[in-house]
Amino acid sequence: MSSNIYDFSTLTGSIHTWLTGMMSSGWVIFTEMVLVGLVFLLMYALLGLFLVYLERKVCAIMQNRVGPNRVGPWGLLQTIADLIKLLLKELIPIRKSDPLLFNLAPFIVIICSFLAMAALPYAKGLQAIDFNIGVFYVMAVSSLSVVGILLAGWSSNSKYSLIGAMRSGAQIVSYELSVGLSLLAIVVFSGSMQLSVIIESQANGWWIFKGHIPAFIAFVVFLIASTAEINRGPFDLAEAESELTAGFHTEYSGIKFAFFFLAEYMNMFIVSALGATVFLGGWMPFHVGNWEGFNQIMDYIPSVVWFFSKTFFLILIIMWFKWTFPRLRIDQLLTLEWKYLLPISLFNIVLIAFIVLMGWHF
Amino acid sequence: MMSEEIIKDVIVGENEDYIINMGPQHPSTHGVLRLEVCLKGETVKYLIPHIGYIHRGIEKMCEAITYPQIIHLTDRMDYLSAHINNEAVCMVVEDAMQIEVPERVKYIRTILDELNRIASHQLWWCAFGMDLGALTSFFYGLRDREYILDIFEESFGSRLLHSFVAPGGLMHDVHPNFQKRTKEFIKYFKTKLPEYDQLLTGNIIFQNRAKGIGLMSRETAIGYGVTGPSGRGSNLACDVRKIAPYGAYDKVQFNEILETGCDVFARYQVRMAEMWESMSIIEQLIDNIPEGEFTAKMKPIIKLPAGEYYRRVETARGELSVYVVSDGNKSPYRMKFRTPNFSNLFVMNEIASGYKIADLIAISGSLDLVIPDIDR
Amino acid sequence: MLNKEEISEIIRTLVPEAVFPEGTQLLEVIVPAEKIFPIAEQLKTDSRLAFDYLISQTAVDFVSKFTVVCHLDSTQFRHLIVLKAELVDRENPAIDSLTALYPTAEFFEREIFDLFGIRFNNHPNLKRLFLEDNYGYPLRKDFRDEVNIIER
């Protein structure tokens, strides 16, 4: 299927030729890496700030109130004010804590979410690294953050933090299985783990529609399991403020707390972006089979807009969960995973394999 | 020698209790309460409540001030049913001096009792949902509670701690808008209370957190003196409005809600149903308030004749009883308040042992404790 | 539900030493302090009385004596009496604990110990409830605290 969506590789290609004209190839690579790193840092910070603001506004609307509206027009500068406040706070060192691990933990969590962000396709031609094991890589790297959480809880030398960290560790490790299996469903459909190939295969329709029932089951399982992976929504027992004050990040203050906080919101973004890429087509516009005319019209909207609107749609659903449902208890959480989600996912995989063999999908 | 001590230390350490302190500053114990919880993994082995952080010596203070002044102190015991506390002291004084209050006073006092009960249950629902993680319920409950507080403010000038009753009747008459606004509130709240059920009661996550948790048998409830909705959730018929009716309660028809579940969910159902019953009581009374005086004729200085007097009322949390020993002066010789939360708190060790920490929050939320009532 | 005369008849047969003051609002029964536990047990187990609910337990300091006052109710019949016992010893007042019959008595008695200084025998955990260990006994009529209480 040819599509005439604006291809960002023309833009990146022209930057590359401009740089090659100015310096030798070694320096070109170095400069490009620095540029990409800076763009990612900027995007991380801006997205993080915006997501915090968005959560407060969405939460306020659901609770029949207004949300931040004083600092800046419509309260847009509220997060920046909060960030400045956090930066100025005293970093309270804990006696009898393990200082190396205590300081290392927030960095591990932030680094893992950076690593995962690098592999996502943001628009046609805008993907930093296109591994041939893309899906596997994103999953593996986001699982590393559980190490950061356990380190935070352990090194705080406080009973509350330890309980919170242990709960969180058990929860994340269990729900990785369901996330993996639901992503595997689409890998079976599309035949490849490379993210750009998965997106190209959705050029005649998104997998959630083409794969009908099993893809929809996988999508629902993915939504539930990924909300649990990022410690959000009805699964936020690890940081339940009405029970254990703040769980594993009780003892952190100032910029280190800001890291945990930011990493949670960016994990939400990554998980939604992954779901949007794999199930809802990523930057691919909404095409229907071979309705050429309809597809041409859809191509006029740039791919960047498609990607971000799908991601934010999933983010809004995840936020909706958090502000509506009460919290699950730890044993109920683990029961949900091991007795319900995992068997459903396994059965789903078998079903999908059968369907692909028979060719019963679009 | 040295190694023996080290070994003993290690072995003793394994059997030691893992104690965690919840409170006195904690987001979910409503008030200053310190719970010393002994855990084994996630399970609670036993817990010891420590109180006294807000002990103000109300009973000692009552021996030095006059009866109308005591009413202002009783507000501050269970501040969420302040009006009902005030009414208890007024009724004791009226019984002792054998004063008959006008009918109008009885009707208005009962309507205000029931409005106070609805407001208290609304706040309980907010806080209960919030403790369990459904943060939105906090705003739903408070939004509707504002209507009641506005009605109070118009008539009495204050939203929470009224001190509107005085021995013999009321301090002054209610505002002319009182009847109209109360009727509007009832009509409004009847459309909103089903929303509460939609948000929380039918939710499967909530039901899993509440059913089968914190079982309290009827014998335990009687033995520990648990009254109010917590007792009625264990099938114990303890409503003082039925046992010893006061005010205008003998002129209205209402049901005493009993549930046999004995768990957190049963206590939750009792309180939700009580809100409906309170609205029905108000509806029966609001159109028929008799005209008349708002107070009986009282002497300026109130001195109770020598003797001992006793009165019980039903607050939003259980049975409050007032026991006065008088020696003929204008201050009581001894005044004892038997508060419902005192007995409701100490049943927690029985019913929370064996459950998880998360259940502890649900159980203490279902008992609906107000700590200043315990410490007085 | 039995009325005052019937209850006082039954109690007179069970407990010959009981004294019934006249002209009170509720039926009051004054019993000797040493026998309070067996009497309370009889009141609880008798099937016509069935006083199984201890509403409240408190003490009053008449300067010459202490009086421990228990309000008992029956969940079955809903009749109410007041059980009183008098203690004349002001140095070391002591009386039996009712915790074995009514679990809630454990905490009422701790409060009485805290505020009056009356000790309870056979109490499982007789510690102060609200106040610090060296505060004294505030609700006694001869209690003075120059720092916190202003006498008029």
Average pLDDT over residues B259-265: 89
pLDDT at position B1:
46
Q: Which residues pair with B35 in a beta bridge?
A: B22, B49
Q: Which of A246-255, B318-327, C136-145 has the lowest mean pLDDT?
A: A246-255
pLDDT at position C43:
86
Residues B39 and B76 placed together within one structural domain of the fold: no
Residue whose token pair is 């939604």: A272
Nearest CA in chain C to B222: C53
Q: Which CATH number belongs to the domain containing residue C55 in this structure?
A: 3.30.460.80
Question: Phi/psi of residue A75, each to 5°?
Answer: 70, 20
pLDDT at position B16:
66
- Give me the number of domains chain B comprises: 2
Q: What is the nearest CA distance from B38 to chain C, expressed in angstroms? A: 18
Is the pTM of the predicted complex or chain greater than 0.90?
no
Q: Per-residue confidence at A2, pLDDT binned at 50, 70, 90?
A: very low
Average pLDDT over residues A249-269: 84
Q: Per-residue confidence at B27, pLDDT binned at 50, 70, 90?
A: low
**For residue B292, is it within any domain?**
yes
Q: Which of A260-269, B52-61, B127-136 has the lowest mean pLDDT?
A: B127-136
**For residue B312, is it within any domain?**
yes
Nearest CA in chain B to A61: B136
pLDDT at position B124:
92
Whether the predicted pLDDT of B12 surpasses 50: no
Q: Which of A162-171, B222-231, B252-261 has the lowest mean pLDDT?
A: A162-171
Q: Of A81-95, B17-31, C44-58, which has the strongest mean pLDDT?
A: C44-58
**For residue C109, is it within any domain?**
yes
* A148 token code pair: 């950061």
Whether the predicted pLDDT of A317 surpasses 90: yes
Contact assignment for B134 to A64 by CB distance below 8 Å: no
Residues B205 and B332 placed together within one structural domain of the fold: yes
Whole-number Å distance between alpha carbons of B43 and B29: 19
Residue whose token pair is 């540029």: A35
Beta-strand ranges (E) seen in chain B are: 18-22, 34-40, 43-50, 165-166, 169-170, 307-314, 319-326, 334-338
> Which residues of chain C have a CB within 8 Å of the CB of B60?
138-139
Q: What is the nearest CA distance from C28 to chain B, expressed in angstroms? A: 10
Q: DSSP 3-state assignment of A280?
A: helix
pLDDT at position B15:
59
Please calculate the CA angle C119-C120-C126 and round it to the nearest 5 degrees. 80
Own/partner pairs for A8-17, CB < 8 Å, 24+ apart? A8/A123, A8/A124, A8/A125, A8/A126, A8/A303, A8/A304, A9/A124, A9/A125, A10/A125, A11/A125, A12/A125, A12/A126
Q: Which of A24-38, A285-299, A313-327, B69-83 has the lowest mean pLDDT?
A: A285-299
Residues B314 and B267 placed together within one structural domain of the fold: yes
CB atoms within 10 A of CB B158: 14
* B353 token code pair: 């042992």
**For residue C75, is it within any domain?**
yes
**For residue B376, is it within any domain?**
no
Select from C24, C54, C139 the Cβ nearest to the Cβ of B307. C24
Q: Per-residue confidence at A294, pLDDT binned at 50, 70, 90?
A: confident
State percent of chain B over pLDDT 90: 24
Whether the predicted pLDDT of A143 surpasses 90: no
Contact assignment for B64 to C152 by CB distance below 8 Å: yes
Average pLDDT over residues A314-321: 92
Q: Which residues pair with B19 in a beta bridge?
A: B38
Residues B303 and B233 placed together within one structural domain of the fold: yes
> Which residues of chain B have a CB within 8 Å of the CB of C61?
334
Cβ of residue C129 closer than 8 Å to a chain B Cβ: yes
**End-to-end CA distance of chain C, in Å?**
47
Whether the predicted pLDDT of B5 surpasses 60: no
Instruction: Decide: B376 and B338 in contact? Cβ < 8 Å.
Output: no
Residues B67 and B24 placed together within one structural domain of the fold: no
Please calculate the CA angle B64-B67-B69 and round it to the nearest 5 degrees. 75
**For residue B99, is it within any domain?**
yes
* C68 token code pair: 């421990």
Q: Kindly report, residue by residue over A201-211, the tens digit of the pLDDT.
A: 887 778 888 87
In terms of DSSP H, where are the helices of A23-158?
Answer: 25-62, 78-87, 99-118, 134-143, 145-155
pLDDT at position B356:
84
Residues B37 and B164 placed together within one structural domain of the fold: no
pLDDT at position B14:
53
Q: Which CATH number belongs to the domain containing residue B291 in this structure?
A: 1.10.645.10
Phi-psi region of B212 (alpha: psi -120 to 50; beta: other; left: phi over 0): left
In terms of DSSP H, where are the helices of chain C?
Answer: 4-14, 36-45, 105-116
Whole-number Å distance between alpha carbons of B175 and B289: 13
Whole-number Å distance between alpha carbons of A360 and A156: 54
Question: Phi/psi of residue C88, each to 5°?
Answer: -95, -15
pLDDT at position C139:
86
Whether the predicted pLDDT of B298 surpasses 90: no
pLDDT at position B208:
87
Residues B226 and B276 placed together within one structural domain of the fold: yes
**For residue C19, is it within any domain?**
yes
Which positions ≥6 away from B204 have C-beta within 8 Å?
Answer: none
Peptide bond into B229 cis (omega under 30): no
Whole-number Å distance between alpha carbons of B215 and B218: 10
* Average pLDDT of chain B to the nearest whole number: 86
Instruction: Decide: A68 and A78 in contact? Cβ < 8 Å.
Output: yes
Q: Per-residue confidence at A1, pLDDT binned at 50, 70, 90?
A: very low
Residues B71 and B187 placed together within one structural domain of the fold: yes
Residues B135 and B270 placed together within one structural domain of the fold: yes
Average pLDDT over residues A151-157: 84
Chain C stretch 88-117, residues whose beta carbon is closer than 8 A to a beta carbon of chain B? 102-104, 106-107, 115
pLDDT at position B7:
52
Instruction: Decide: A296 and A4 in contact? Cβ < 8 Å.
Output: yes
**For residue B354, is it within any domain?**
yes
* A343 token code pair: 């068997």
Residues B98 and B36 placed together within one structural domain of the fold: no
Contact assignment for B361 to A236 by CB distance below 8 Å: no
Q: Of A238-247, B105-114, C15-24, which has the strongest mean pLDDT?
A: B105-114
Whole-number Å distance between alpha carbons of B44 and B27: 19
> Which residues of chain B have a CB within 8 Å of the CB of C71?
310, 321, 323, 338
Q: Which residues pair with C62 in a beta bridge?
A: C65
pLDDT at position A246:
60
State percent of chain A over pLDDT 70: 96
Whole-number Å distance between alpha carbons of B336 and A169: 52
**For residue C145, is it within any domain?**
no
Helix H or strand E encompassing A179: helix A159-190
**For residue C25, is it within any domain?**
yes
* B228 token code pair: 């109010």
In one-letter notation, the amino acid at residue B256 is E
Please calculate the CA angle B182-B188-B192 and round it to the nearest 5 degrees. 135
Q: Per-residue confidence at B11, pLDDT binned at 50, 70, 90?
A: very low
Whole-number Å distance between alpha carbons of B240 and B246: 9
By C-alpha distance, which of A304, A273, A312 is closest to A11?
Answer: A304
Instruction: Decide: B75 and B159 in contact? Cβ < 8 Å.
Output: no
Average pLDDT over residues B184-201: 89
pLDDT at position B10:
47
Whether the predicted pLDDT of A314 surpasses 90: yes
Q: Kindly report, residue by residue over A6-17, the tens digit of the pLDDT.
A: 777 777 788 888
Which positions ≥6 away from A23 have C-beta within 8 Å?
Answer: A31
Whether the predicted pLDDT of C76 surpasses 80: yes
Q: Per-residue confidence at A195, pLDDT binned at 50, 70, 90?
A: confident
Residues B295 and B191 placed together within one structural domain of the fold: yes
Total number of residues shown for chain B: 376
* Average pLDDT of chain A to the nearest whole number: 84
**For residue C81, is it within any domain?**
yes
Q: Per-residue confidence at A244, pLDDT binned at 50, 70, 90?
A: low
Please calculate the CA angle B289-B255-B250 and round it to the nearest 5 degrees. 40
Whether the predicted pLDDT of A200 surpasses 90: no
Which DSSP category does A341 fall into? I
In terms of DSSP H, where are the helices of B233-263?
Answer: 240-243
Q: B14: domain range? A: 2-49
pLDDT at position B198:
85
In one-letter notation, the amino acid at residue B335 is M
**Which residues of B lie closer than 8 Å to A, measured between beta carbons?**
18, 20, 26-28, 42, 129-136, 138-140, 143, 199-200, 203, 205-206, 208-209, 356-359, 361
Residues B228 and B294 placed together within one structural domain of the fold: yes
Whole-number Å distance between alpha carbons of B5 and B14: 14
Nearest CA in chain B to A64: B139
Instruction: Decide: A82 and A52 in contact? Cβ < 8 Å.
Output: yes
Q: Which of A76-85, A221-230, A284-293, B292-301 has the lowest mean pLDDT?
A: A284-293
Cβ of residue C56 closer than 8 Å to a chain B Cβ: yes
Contact assignment for C75 to B333 by CB distance below 8 Å: no
Whether the predicted pLDDT of A257 surpasses 90: no
Q: Per-residue confidence at A313, pLDDT binned at 50, 70, 90?
A: very high
Q: DSSP 3-state assignment of A208?
A: helix
**For residue B196, is it within any domain?**
yes
By C-alpha distance, which of A224, A320, A65 is closest to B134?
Answer: A320
- Give me the number of domains chain C comprises: 1
By C-alpha distance, which of A11, A4, A44 is closest to A273?
Answer: A44
Instruction: Decide: B144 and B189 in contact? Cβ < 8 Å.
Output: yes
**For residue C15, is it within any domain?**
yes
In one-letter notation, the amino acid at residue B207 is Q
ipTM of the complex: 0.90
Contact assignment for A159 to B134 by CB distance below 8 Å: no
* DSSP state string for B180-212: HHHHHHHHHHHHHHHHHIIIIIT-HHHHHHHTT
Q: Per-residue confidence at A293, pLDDT binned at 50, 70, 90?
A: confident
Q: C67: domain range? A: 4-121
Whole-number Å distance between alpha carbons of A266 and A33: 22
By C-alpha distance, which of B320, B247, B343 is closest to B51?
Answer: B343
Q: Kindly report, residue by residue over A81-127, the tens digit of the pLDDT.
A: 888 888 888 877 777 777 888 888 889 989 988 888 888 888 877 78
Residue whose token pair is 């890429």: A277
